[in-house]
Amino acid sequence: MTIIERKKVDVGTGVEPVAGAVSAPSGHRVRVRGARKRYGAVEALAGIDLDIEVGKFMVLLGPSGSGKTTLLRGIAGIERFDAGTVHFGDNPISGGQKHAPAERRDLSMVFQDYALWPHLTVEQNVGYALRRRRLDSHTRRKLVNETLERVGLDAKLESYPGELSGGQQQRVALARALVARPALLLFDEPLSNLDADLRERLRVEIATLTRESGATALYITHDQSEAFALADEIGVLRAGLLEQRGTPEDIFRSPATQFVARFTGIAGSFVGRAVGDRDGYFRVRVGDHELSCRAAAGVTPGSLVDLLIRPTASSLGERLGDQPAQIPGTVVDIAFRGRGYEHVIESAYGQLTSVFDTHPWARGSACAIRIDPDGCIAYPQP
């Protein structure tokens, strides 16, 4: 069962699409300036600027304690920033003495713990979000039914949240967020309480239904694969500051800092000494070997650097004599991944995980790691 198939059925049952309503995005343009928030001694937000264009899907990625939840709740209106302003389009939403309450912001939210109301049925839960639209009961019921159909729960109208599985509950929460067509959709780690299979399927539903609604979306997570899969744009948060923002491709290919690189996934790292530019790449000496890589800002010839290697940038080969561009290693472990095998390799300079090859290498066998300079980035040592 996929959403798309169901919607084809919908067309057949007479729900007429309204031309133009969907293609013209109706979301908020979100602008946050200088957002700060402190809880006692802990500074959750240290002055953040954030822009989300109309209809874009922005994912904030960061470890716990990075301030992403605080930022989301501040934009939602559940919490108030100590300082800074929020604008939706040209409308000031929060700043100084003024603070529009959550219910006046024309947004909706999917919560990590679902936050369904246990005393209301599925239909009532979803219908609740329509109250602000002041619809007649027939229209309301119809919209609720349609939205629940989209998430595959039209058979559960009369059920109470307690009678549903976790995945079903989060689908109800998604329907509730979508039904009133708010201008901004907020997602607070909505998948983190679900198991892997459900997570993947619900992620697809979130991605498609959100984009279809035309709303601007802000989604926070600590899972980089979720971020890369969902986002039009990613912002990486660290200790209350926005460390880098860009398209998923930008973030993956050119992580601005060692933190961003590590948080978005690496196979491992080596310590080396910067040598200098050659053939459009930067050269770094690691032990007896010299590797090509790309250099982040602040790397100067002769300095010590951390060399971070993306999982996609490493591959395995036979150890053939002394080749300076290849690091010799030993296979420690191996994992079958369907399209091939990921290996854990121990080398003289450190361990690399997720080293891919289409063929399995036996544990303990000698090998050589080849490194693609595009997925290997040198950072100045902190």
Separation CA 220–CA 187 (nearest Å): 6
Neighbour tally for 83: CB within 10 Å:
14
Q: Is 171:205 a contact under the CB 8 Å cutoff?
A: yes
180 makes contact with other proteins (CB under 8 A): yes
Of the candidates 47, 38, 45, 87, the one whose C-alpha atom is nearest the C-alpha of residue 67 is 45
Minimal distance in Å, beta carbon 359 to other proteins? 29
- Asked if 194 contacts 170 with a C-beta cutoff of 8 angstroms, the reply is yes
114 binds other proteins (CB under 8 A): yes
Q: By CB under 8 A, what part of segment 146-165 binds other proteins?
A: 146-147, 160-163
Rg of the chain over Cα atoms, rounded to whole angstroms, equals: 25
Cβ proximity to other proteins: between 164 and 274 the closer is 164
Q: How far is the CB of 6 from other proteins (least distance, A)?
A: 10
Is there a contact between 327 and 316 (Cβ–Cβ < 8 Å)? no
What is the per-residue binding string for other proteins in 208-237, x denoting contact by CB under 8 A?
x--xx----------------x--------
8-47 residues in contact with other proteins (CB under 8 A) are 8, 10-11, 15-18, 21-23
* 128 contacts other proteins (rule: CB under 8 A): yes
Which DSSP symbol is given to 181? -
Among 33, 34, 121, 141, binds other proteins (CB under 8 A): 121
Please identify which residue in 1, 41, 64, 118 interacts with other proteins, judged by CB under 8 A: 118
CB of 137 to other proteins, least distance (A): 12
- State the binding string over 319-338 for other proteins (x if CB under 8 A, else -): --------------------
Structure tokens at 230: 């969902």
103 is written with which tokens? 């219910």
Residue 108 touching other proteins (CB under 8 A) = yes
362 vs 280: CA distance, rounded Å = 36
